[in-house]
Amino acid sequence: MKADSIALALTWDGSRWPVAKLPAAARKFLNVPGLKATPKQLSEILRAGRIKEIRICWVPILRGGDEVLCSPFATKNGRRIPFRQTSSRQLGDALGVVYRR
């Protein structure tokens, strides 16, 4: 994982989805050999303001449980991080979306 980007596979309710379970096109879109960051580590990376791009493969499944990425975190200046969708790609049943600052 580069210091300025994050790539994740998420279900519609925000649960992490294993990259290995994605079809080849989705794995190529994420271009990640295996992201091992916990939700807390991801929050720290985002809070630090180093992220310029987020690549998400939205998997059309509801998973539920405790391991969802919905925990709030505060940024350095207390403001929203201004990400905008710059592109999207249909990847079979999944949707690949790129968000940039």
Q: Which of 43, 45, 53, 51 is nearest to 84 (CA)?
A: 53
Q: How far apart are CA 48 and CA 29, in angstroms?
A: 25
Domains of the chain: 5-100 (3.40.430.10)
**pLDDT of 19 higher than 50:** yes
pLDDT attached to residue 94:
93
The residue-averaged pLDDT of 85-100 equals: 94
pLDDT attached to residue 74:
65
Kindly report the pTM of this predicted structure: 0.76
How do residues 34-70 score in pLDDT, each as one tens digit?
556 677 777 777 777 778 888 999 999 887 666 555 5
Largest CA distance in the chain: 39
